[in-house]
Structure 1
Amino acid sequence: MDRLMDLPATQDAAPVHVEHGGPDGGPPIEFDFSTNACPLEAPAPVRRALLQADRRHYPDPAYAALRELLGAFHGVAPGRVLPTAGSSEAIRRLTLAARLRGVQQAWVPQPGYGDYRAAAQALGLSVRPYASGEALLDGLTTHGAAPALVWLCEPCNPTGESLGAPFWPALAALAGRGHVLALDRAYAPLRLEGRCPVPPAVAESAWQCFSPNKSLGLTGVRAGWVIAPADDDALRATLLSLAPGWVLSAEGVALLEAWTLPATQQGVQAACSRLRAWKRQQRAALQSLGWVQQPSVTPFWLARPCDSGLPARLRALRERGIKLRDATSFGLPGWVRLSVQPPPAQQALLQAWRDSA
């Protein structure tokens, strides 16, 4: 099986056009494999909270009650919790805060979420891509004299893979050199296999970005938070000062409050149980088509259909209301990223693929 870590990493100074899954301006998508959102309905407490959200009034601009709630949920002081309008907004704001501190380079996973690179390039930071944990450690050792913004996504998008346990203690040894360590945890609740490998010491030294809307299947509600390290009051103050007024809407506050409820967490765990079964079924079906598939601990992964005319095949699928995420923008032409979908969607994909042969 091909290993993605063998692919060369490149550095490109050209402006980045970030592509995403989901709506693309075309006809309605009936079966959407292109986003990483959970395809199941959000737990009942979350749905009720959104319906009852007070849209008549501004939320508290300081979000004091929400920060208290999220702080208790994570076992940290409320002052370390900084509300955001989701991960993408957190990425932009944290990159700007690091730039104002004087950071001039950013390390980003490749393949990885395009907003890391785009945010860095928009502010004139030098972008250094890395293709594996080992490559990152080697790069920080070789080029790490100057402080850098270091992005990690655990588990990673688009691969769905998790960095190995030996990587993290080695990273902790380098983290004290003035680097801004940023840990994107958007997909942590969707981990279907194994345990989170991030040691508490690394998490405590990192800027941890959370956004539960994908786990809840509610990507239209843009809401999240950052947990700041306990010992970086200056950068925390900068990040707060850069936030727009009312960064969270009433719906965003309602979603995050409901996220902390035990019933919501139980609902997410139940959804993950169903996704595990559907994932096994979907991977077996794609294997029957001869697709090469990368390992993954999440309900999304990278696959390479055995077809040289992939763009045309993807267009044919799109015309039938089925969308997969072309991985070319990740630097992986010939590959797709796809998410677990319910059995009827899987059957529709298999039939459409065979029909377009």
Structure 2
Amino acid sequence: MTHGGSDSGPPLLHDFSTNANPLPVPASLSAALQAADRCRYPDPHYLALREQLGRAHGVSPERILPASGGAEAIRRLSLAALLQGLREVWVPSPGFGDYAAAAQALGLRVRSYADVTQLLQELGSEAMVWICEPCNPTGESLASAQIAAVAARAALTVLDRAYEPLRLAGTAPALPSNCWTLHCPNKALGHTGVRAAYLIAAEDYAFSHRVQQLAASWVLSAEGQVLLMQLHRPEIQAWLADSRAQLRRWSVQQREMLASLGWQQRESCTPFWLARPAVPLDHEDLRAHGIKLRDASSFGLPGWVRVATLPPQSQLALKKVIAQ
């Protein structure tokens, strides 16, 4: 699997390849993570966490299923779908590679869709569908009616909401009650190294017991549990709102800078988007300067990169190297 973010080389100075929030995190969040009790097991049922998240989302705690990260949740939900008798999985293209990887590892048939119109024309009633909303790597967002149409036909529809807290434009689409959702707030909270996520089961609880049974014991670490319990605190939500405002300003500047270099850029409602450099990039040279962009070849887009919004000093560093 190809991912953005840190690698085995020297520390990155300007990492445009990760979708993590680049703003400094609140001191209270750092303090809470440092104070996580690592000397004993968490509650294996995560009752307090599930109650808190249930209140935040207006659902019963039974519908909240903690996971040790988005990738783990994707693998577990894919296995549950297989055990329920589903044999086909639809994934967005371009899209996050773990959806297809999880299905392929289980021998499920993988189908890809470039748009919802194509998906609805070919979608059967015994299929699982992944929707990344907003989408990684494109930053595109679907309309409520499109999601409802998919959910009305598929056996299982799952929306990955990892980037919803970083939505910079538009409003979140309404979700049908028969959809599952996956929430991975560690990117928005600037702590990608803390593996923590949670699923919200569909309103009818369909096969949620099986998904829960497939979880490892103590699926969340102490730090992961703390991170999720911090998410909906008013101070953290206010910081996220301030982050979005700052990222909007920086993304405008960054787009203007890349346009001045002749880059082609796609529209996006997130702090990241797809761009095509005027001249092919030398990724090794960029890496030698402590700069990394996400090569989009693994998304089926050779010559393109996914670029995330970073502060002006990082933008200038990128421009300096590219303009050489």
> What band does the TM-score fall into relative to the shorter chain?
over 0.9
- In structure 1, runs of 5+ residues without a counterpart are 1-17
Q: Give the corresponding residue for 1:152.
A: 131
2:322 maps to 1:353 = yes
Verify the 8 A CA contact 1:43 1:216 in the aligned structure 2. no
Identity of aligned residues (%): 55
Verify the 8 A CA contact 1:190 1:299 in the aligned structure 2. yes
Q: Which runs of 4+ in 1 moved over 4 A?
A: none
Verify the 8 A CA contact 1:193 1:298 in the aligned structure 2. yes
Q: How far apart, in 2, do the equivalents of 1:163 and 1:126 lie?
A: 24
Please give the residue correspondences for 1:218-297 in structure 2 after superposition, counting only pairs within 5 Å.
218-233=191-206, 235-297=207-269
Verify the 8 A CA contact 1:41 1:216 in the aligned structure 2. no
Structure 1, 46-55 or 66-75: larger mean CA deviation: 46-55
Verify the 8 A CA contact 1:46 1:259 in the aligned structure 2. no
Cα separation, partners in 2 of 1:137 and 1:45, compared to 1, 3 Å: farther
SS at match of 1:76: coil
Offset from partner CA, 1:137-165 (integer Å, 9 cap, x none)? 1121xxx14x1110000000000111234
Q: CA deviation at 1:171?
A: 2.4
Q: How far apart, in 1, do the equivalents of 2:278 and 2:156 lie?
A: 41
SS at match of 1:46: helix
Q: How far apart, in 2, do the equivalents of 1:100 and 1:224 lie?
A: 22
Q: TM-score, normalised by structure 1?
A: 0.89
Cα separation, partners in 2 of 1:56 and 1:194, compared to 1, 3 Å: same
Q: How far apart, in 2, do the equivalents of 1:48 and 1:218 lie?
A: 13
Among 171, 190, 197, the alignment partner of 2:166 is 190
Structure with the higher helix share, 1 or 2: 1
SS at match of 2:323: helix
SS at match of 1:216: coil
Q: How far apart, in 1, do the equivalents of 2:57 and 2:111 lie?
A: 32
Please give the residue correspondences for 1:275-354 in structure 2 after superposition, counting only pairs within 5 Å.
275-307=247-279, 309-310=280-281, 313-354=282-323
Aligned length: 324
Q: Give the corresponding residue for 1:21.
A: 4
Q: Give the corresponding residue for 1:36.
A: 19
C-alpha RMSD of matched pairs (Å): 1.1
Verify the 8 A CA contact 2:151 2:179 in the aligned structure 1. no
SS at match of 1:205: coil
Q: CA deviation at 1:245?
A: 0.8
Verify the 8 A CA contact 1:84 1:225 in the aligned structure 2. yes
Q: How far apart, in 1, do the equivalents of 2:103 and 2:149 lie?
A: 25
SS at match of 1:215: coil
Q: TM-score, normalised by structure 2?
A: 0.98
Verify the 8 A CA contact 2:19 2:272 in the aligned structure 1. yes
